[in-house]
């Protein structure tokens, strides 16, 4: 039997400015541990602390530009583009352009505060 998700849960975001996280599938909204799917709405100038997660993250940018910084490079991911970041690798997300960004993030396994390992 399918599980119908009528609406997302809004999750508090880390970072220097308010960002909206709407989790549709994941540990909070659907009690799913294997995968999480969330829509992000990040304002201009938002920067998240760096992290070394225990999950792969698949990100599809819908609007604006998401900047993804690793220890080796910085990639500007624009609307209609995607990026995969891999578990165990340090990464930092930000939205430095005036329009901010809207994007879908899929984490495998599901995002967890216990497995994201943010910088202090």
> Got the DSSP string for 94-119?
EE-STT-EEEEEEEES---HHHH-B-
According to DSSP, residue 28 is labeled T
Please give the average per-residue pLDDT across 23-37, as a whole number. Answer: 98
- Give the separation between CA 57 and CA 84, rounded to whole angstroms: 6
Tell me what the mean pLDDT of segment 13-41 comes to: 97
* Average pLDDT over the chain, rounded to an integer: 97
Q: How far apart are the first and last CA of the chain?
A: 42
C-alpha–C-alpha distance, residues 8 and 41, integer Å? 13
| pLDDT value, residue 92 | 98
In the numeric block, which tokens belong to residue 65?
């530009």
Tell me what the mean pLDDT of segment 6-20 comes to. 96
- Average pLDDT of the residues in 7-28: 97
What average pLDDT does the segment 15-34 reach? Answer: 97
Average pLDDT estimate for 15-28: 97
Using CA atoms, how far apart are residues 106 and 57, in angstroms rounded to an integer? 6
9-108 has which fold?
A: Jelly Rolls (2.60.120)
Say yes or no to pLDDT of 120 above 90. no
What is the distance between the alpha carbons of residues 104 and 41, in angstroms, rounded to a whole number?
9
11: pLDDT confidence band, cut at 50, 70 and 90?
very high
Given a cut of 90, whether residue 115 has pLDDT beyond it is yes
Q: Which residue do the tokens 């967890």 mark? A: 112
């Amino acid at each position: 039997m399918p599980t119908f998700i009528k609406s997302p849960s809004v999750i508090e975001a880390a970072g220097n400015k308010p960002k909206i996280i709407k989790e549709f599938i994941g540990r909070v909204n659907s009690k799913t541990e294997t995968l999480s799917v969330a829509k992000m709405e990040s304002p201009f100038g938002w920067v998240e602390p760096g992290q070394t997660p225990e999950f792969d993250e698949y990100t599809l940018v819908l609007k604006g530009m998401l900047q993804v910084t690793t220890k080796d490079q910085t990639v500007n991911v624009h609307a209609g583009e995607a990026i995969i970041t891999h578990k165990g690798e340090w990464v930092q997300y930000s939205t430095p352009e005036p329009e901010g960004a809207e994007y879908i993030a899929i984490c495998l396994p599901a995002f967890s505060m216990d497995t994201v390992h943010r910088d202090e």
